[in-house]
Amino acid sequence: VKKPSVDDTTPSPPKNQLGMTAPGPRMNATFVTLARNSDVWDIARSIRQVEDRFNRKFNYDWVFLNDNDFDETFIKVTTSLVSGKTKYGKIPTDHWSFPSWIDTDKAARVREEMKEKQIIYGDSISYRHMCRYESGFFFRHPLMLDYEWYWRVEPSIELFCDIDYDTFKFMADHGKKYSFVLSLYEYVETIPTLWDSVKTFMTKHPEHIAQDNSMAFLSDDDGKTYNHCHFWSNFEIGNLNWLRSQAYIDYFNHLDQDGGFFYERWGDAPVHSIAAGLMLNKDELHFFNDIAYYHVPFTHCPTSEKTRTDLKCHCNPKDNFDWNGYSCTSRFFEVNNMQKPEGYDKQQ
C-alpha cells in the first residue's frame, strides 16, 4: 500500500469557505446548549449532525452554558466542530441554587420519597437546578441577551433529514414564537401540583392569557385539570424576547415561588409548554414535521416517503412516534384543524 505523501493530500479548506454557504442575510439567532464537561463527546455527536444537516449552510453561532467552568477539551472540540462563532458562559450561582424561600429539609425529604418510588431523576438535586434553569434563566444569560432566536440542542440527539432553509427566518416570517417536533404525556408524579399553580397564575394575571390560546391542547375539561400533554423541550426553536417578556417572567416567578421545582420535580418541558399553550396564540406555535429528530427514546420521522427522499432522510419511518397513543401530536393537529401528513394513517 502506497502511503500518501504530503503532496497527495489536499489541504482542508478554511471554515465557511466550502462553497455551500446559503446566500442572503442571517437572523439574530444562536444555538444554545447546557452541558457539563463530561458531555463533550455526546454533544460533539449532536453538533456534527446539526452542522451536516443545517448549519454548515448557515453558520449560526453556538452558546454553551455550564454551572462550572468549561475545560480546555470541551472548548477545543466544540469550537472545531461549529461553523459559526462559539461562546462559553458560566451560570451565576443564584441561577443554580436553592432560592431563599425554599425549605431545603422538606426538599430533601421529597428526594428520599421519590427515590423510593423510583421516579426518574427523583433523587437528583442537579437535575432540579437544570430544569429550573431551563425554565427561567437560560434566556437571560448575558451571552444570550445579544440574540432574538434560539435553537436548543442536547447531547446525543440525531437529525435525520436535510434542512435546506433557514428555520429561524421561517419562524419570523410566519409569526411563530415556539416550536416542537415531539410531544408526549408527562409523568404525573413529577408535577402533582403544577396545574394548581398555573390556575392561580391565570387568576392573578388574566392579562397574560392569549385570546386564541391552546387550552384545548393542555386540558380536556376547559382548564379544570391538566391532561399532561407537553412539547418535548430537548428540541426547541423559539423566540427569546417572548421568554424575556413580562408575561413569561411573571409566570416563571409565580411557579418558582410555589416551590415545585424542588418540592416536586417540575420539568422545563411542561413549564415551557403550558406557557406557550396559554400565553401565545395558536398560530404562534409550530410543528416542524420536516425536522426529523431523535432523543432517547423517541423519534420523529416524516411519514411521507416523498418528504424523506427529497430531504435525504435516514430515519426508519416505523420508528416515528407521532401517531402513537402516547404522543400528543394528534391532539395538536385536531386543536389547530390541521390536516395530518401523508402516510400518518399507516402508523396508527
Active site residues: 236
In 3D space, the residue among 36, 91, 32, 41 whose CA is nearest the CA of residue 64 turns out to be 32
The whole-angstrom separation of Cα 299 and Cα 293 is: 6
- Tell me: cis bond preceding 297? Omega within 30 of 0 counts: yes
Which of 84, 122, 136, 155 contacts ligand GDP by CB under 6 A?
155
Name the one range near ligand GDP by CB under 6 A: 33-41, 49-57, 240-248, 335-343. Answer: 33-41
Which of 27, 35, 40, 313 contacts ligand GDP by CB under 6 A?
35
Name the one range near ligand GDP by CB under 6 A: 32-40, 169-177, 192-200, 206-214. Answer: 32-40
Contact (CB, 8 A) for 222 and 169: no
Contact between 130 and ligand GDP by CB under 6 A: the answer reads: yes
Which of 42, 154, 189, 250 contacts Mn ion by CB under 5 A?
154
Nearer to Mn ion by C-beta: 26 or 45? Answer: 45
Name the one range near Mn ion by CB under 5 A: 17-25, 78-86, 147-155, 244-252. Answer: 147-155
Query: For the purposes of burial, counting CB atoms within 10 Å of the CB of 6, is it exposed (0-12), middle (13-18) or buried (19 or more)?
Result: exposed
Please list the helix, strand and coil fractions of the chain in percent, rounded to the nearest 5, in that order.
Answer: 45, 15, 45
Contact between 36 and ligand GDP by CB under 6 A: the answer reads: yes
What is the distance in angstroms between the CA of the first residue and the CA of the last residue of the chain?
A: 54
The whole-angstrom separation of Cα 213 and Cα 178 is: 13
Name the one range near ligand GDP by CB under 6 A: 7-15, 30-38, 215-223, 338-346. Answer: 30-38
Name residues contacting Mn ion, limited to 202-231 (CB under 5 A).
Answer: none
The whole-angstrom separation of Cα 66 and Cα 299 is: 27
Q: What is the DSSP string of 266-283?
A: --HHHHHHHHHHHHS-GG
Residue 272, all three cell numbers: 415551557
Name residues contacting ligand GDP, limited to 52-91 (CB under 6 A).
Answer: 66-67
How many chain residues bind ligand GDP (CB under 6 A)? 12
Nearer to ligand GDP by C-beta: 89 or 223? Answer: 89
Residue 224: CB minimum distance to Mn ion, A: 32
Residue 268: CB minimum distance to Mn ion, A: 11
The whole-angstrom separation of Cα 272 and Cα 228 is: 13
Q: Which residues bind Mn ion (CB under 5 A)?
A: 154, 234
Q: Provide the binding-site residues for ligand GDP, judged by CB under 6 A.
A: 33-36, 39, 66-67, 126, 130, 154-155, 234
